[in-house]
Amino acid sequence: MRCDSHLIPPQPPLPPAYNKPPDPRRHKPSAAPTTSSTMYALLPLLPFLLLVLYLLPRRPYLRGPPLLSVLLPGPVRTFHANPNRLTECLSAISRTHGEVFALWLGLSRVVFTTDPADMVHMSSDTRLFPRAPRMRAIFELAVPGGIFAMSHEQHRVVRAALHRNFNHSMLRGFHPAMKRAVDTLCEALRRAAAAGKPVDISTLLSSTTFMIILNVAFGGDFSPADCLKFAADIDILSEELMLEYVQYWVRAAFEWAGSRARLFACKKRIYAMCNQFVQRRLAETRADKEARAPDMLDTILSLDQVPEHELASLIVEFAIAGSYTTSQTMTWSLYETCCVPRAREAVHEELARKFGGKGADEMLSFEEVDTLEYVRNVWKESTRLHPISPLLERVVTEDVTLKGTGVRLPKGTILYGNIKRMQTHPGIWSKADEFRPERWGRRGIEAERVPFGAYAAFALGKIKCVGRFLADYEGPLIIAELHRRFKFQLACEKDEVVNRSNFVDLPRYLNKSTGQEEGIPMYVELR
């Protein structure tokens, strides 16, 4: 099967050496093989040829690195040797092979697209483009029965119920409880400022977002130390999920030898912790319930469509999806405002203009957070430049022609929407690699218009992020509170901070003296 001809770039002319007539001195006529000896020589290859003939018409013709590139130096080998460099390798491959390309992952040939209209198409129809079987299998292993592995119908009903409840008025109820998480974070930063030593900002922010999801969204009462313990387990789980993603069949084959022992041990600890607040919530009296604002746990526990033993999976999934995503985007935000003085000054200017008269220890109100414009743009720009979930993986359930690129994909093709490449594509965004929150402004010469679908950090359509309402509130609130109270400075070189794929993408400090990857070190000063 072929893609439309406009997708196949014109082939370069052959090098002159190939156009020359053959040199008769170098091409001695050899004895012609008989027809029957050629047939015998080809016989052992017959099954292979039949397989190729069977598979060929089913695969779309697309450019991309050949199967053997796994053995050759370059991005394909780099990524196979080191899966946590997946995103950067894919961007490199896309730069060479174009915006739609096919790549051998193991023995399957999968397709990547960077086209906004393709992204809209694959996000709009969950029946035609459901999550891919391997992704579902991995989630089924870690969080059986959860939202990532649900059937189409169950997912539709559950999503509708979540949508009805996860809204602005739930956020308003969260605001007072968020103060505790913000106070704890600021207290740790004050200590770091007094000590004058660099602090690992990634870990501190993780502890904060875990506190928010566990204590604010789920009504737990875990100490910062407990939240960090939980974060450490989620770290292990994410690492294990990434390994599952790359080595699924090998790990499945060697499960008897303990290939998944670490995954299962960590899963057990995480479930034990989540079950604690489920039990507490179930034991709550009516009066207790009326005395507090409704939260996400209430909504999850009220889902009739989810059997009781699967509710814990949903909670674990929310804890996973709702913590690192937000904390690591905040880390990127602070990193970028350290590196881009213009953005940092604009944040300070907005905060001084709007809340200059407010005491540093007085938290912004819910309404005040709503009025932030530039800080929100900083948050959105961080999600553009550093999408924490850089790929959308789907399977095609019927033969289909992608609406953007016109590529025809046969049933069964695994299709990836390459969000990271699309959101940093120089053909779509002006100064695509630069951190420029101004592009999101409603006015001003730097405000930018991009095609619908070009920004998909929270995905689009029916499987888009269900927690975006929380992330888009929590992110700007914490960025604003930190910039109101502290000055930050990177305690390493800008280019020592690298992106690492660990199921989600994370910023890591590559410590060249130890060879270790760590959280981002920053100096903190009181303002």
State how far the alpha carbon of 136 is from the alpha carbons of 151, 402, 460, in Å. Answer: 10, 23, 19
With CB under 6 A as the contact rule, which of the stretches 9-17, 361-369, 399-407, 466-474 interacts with ligand HEM? 466-474
Residue 459 in contact with ligand HEM, rule: CB under 6 A: yes
318 binds ligand HEM (CB under 6 A): yes
Choose one: 84-92, 344-352, 356-364, 458-466; the region binding ligand HEM (CB under 6 A).
Answer: 458-466
**466 makes contact with ligand HEM (CB under 6 A):** yes
Looking at beta carbons, which residue is closest to ligand HEM?
467
- The two beta strands, 504-511 and 497-502, are antiparallel
Q: How many residues bind ligand HEM (CB under 6 A)?
A: 23
Residue 383 Cβ, how far from ligand HEM at the closest point, in Å? 5
| Of 193 and 311, CB closest to ligand HEM | 311
Q: Which of 205, 321, 409, 497 binds ligand HEM (CB under 6 A)?
A: 321
Q: How far apart are CA 8 and CA 16, in angstroms?
A: 23
CB closer to ligand HEM, 209 vs 405: 209
Beta 408-409 vs 400-401: how paired, if at all?
antiparallel
H/E run at residue 391: strand 391-395
Q: What are the structure tokens assigned to 231, written together?
A: 């974060």
Q: Residue 355 or residue 458: which is nearer to ligand HEM going by CB?
A: 458
**Interface pick for ligand HEM out of 392, 402, 479, 491 (rule CB under 6 A):** 392
Which of the stretches 61-69, 186-194, 235-243, 384-392 binds ligand HEM when contact is defined by CB under 6 A? Answer: 384-392
Binding part of the chain for ligand HEM, among 72-80, 226-234, 420-428, 456-464 by CB under 6 A, reads 456-464
Tell me whether residue 322 is exposed, middle or buried, using C-beta atoms within 10 angstroms of its C-beta: 0 to 12, 13 to 18, 19 or more.
buried
Query: Of 147, 102, 84, 85, which Cα lies nearest the Cα of 312?
Result: 147
Please check if 465 is assigned to a binding site. Answer: yes
Min dist. Cβ of residue 437 to ligand HEM (A): 15
* 326 touching ligand HEM, by CB under 6 A: yes
Rounded-to-integer distance, Cα 374 and Cα 398, Å: 44
If you search the block for the tokens 């709009």, which residue do you land on? 124
Residue type, 473: Y
Question: Which of residues 186 and 466 has its CB atom nearest to ligand HEM in the complex?
Answer: 466
The values of phi and psi at residue 458, to 5°, are: -105, 20
Question: For residues 206 and 246, is the Cβ–Cβ distance under 8 A?
Answer: no
Residues in the chain: 527
Q: How far is the CB of 129 from ligand HEM (least distance, A)?
A: 10
Here's the x/- map for ligand HEM, 155-194, by CB under 6 A: it reads as: ----x-----------------------------------
Which C-beta is closer to ligand HEM: that of 130 or that of 519? Answer: 130
Tokens of 476: 């700007």
Minimum CB separation of residue 484 from ligand HEM in Å reads 21
Among 322, 404, 476, 521, binds ligand HEM (CB under 6 A): 322
Element housing 525 (H / E): strand 521-526
Q: Considering only residues 206, 377, 383, 501, which one is a binding residue for ligand HEM as defined by CB under 6 A?
A: 383
Q: Which stretch binds ligand HEM (CB under 6 A): 64-72, 189-197, 398-406, 454-462?
A: 454-462
**Residue 59 identity:** R
Which stretch in 28-36, 253-261, 321-329, 351-359 sits in contact with ligand HEM by CB under 6 A? 321-329
Contacts of residue 504, defined as CB under 8 A and 6 or more positions apart, other chains included, come to: 238, 324, 325, 328, 388, 389
Is the Cβ–Cβ distance between 215 and 177 less than 8 Å? yes
Where in 114-236 does DSSP place strands (E)? 199-200
Q: From the list 88, 310, 317, 505, which residue makes contact with ligand HEM (rule: CB under 6 A)? A: 317
- 3 state SS of 155: helix
With contacts defined by CB under 6 A, name the span among 14-22, 299-307, 320-328, 421-429 that binds ligand HEM: 320-328
The C-alpha angle with vertex 267 and arms to 266 and 272, in degrees rounded to 5, equals 100
Closer of 203 and 325 to ligand HEM (Cβ) = 325
Closest CA to 313 of 254, 350, 270: 270
Pick one of 93, 141, 147, 306: the residue that binds ligand HEM (CB under 6 A): 147
Min separation Cβ 123 and ligand HEM, Å: 8
CB nearer ligand HEM, residue 7 or residue 212: 212
Direct distance between the N- and C-terminal alpha carbons of the chain, in angstroms, rounded to an integer: 63
CA dist 227 and 149 (Å) reads 26
Instruction: Determine phi and psi for 50, rounding to 5 degrees.
Output: -65, -40
CB of 357 to ligand HEM, least distance (A): 31
Cα separation, 358 vs 105, in Å, equals 55
Cα–Cα distance for residue pair 293/289, rounded to 1 Å: 8
Please tell me whether residue 389 binds ligand HEM under the rule CB under 6 A.
yes
Q: What minimum distance in Å lies between the beta carbon of 201 and ligand HEM?
A: 16
**Amino acid letter for position 153:** E
Among the listed residues 89, 242, 378, 463, the single contact to ligand HEM using CB under 6 A:
463
| Strand order from edge to edge, sheet including 521-526 | 199-200, 521-526, 486-490
Q: Which residues bind ligand HEM (CB under 6 A)?
A: 147-148, 159, 317-318, 321-322, 325-326, 329, 383, 388-389, 392, 457-459, 463, 465-467, 470-471
Which residues belong to the annotated binding site for heme?
Answer: 465
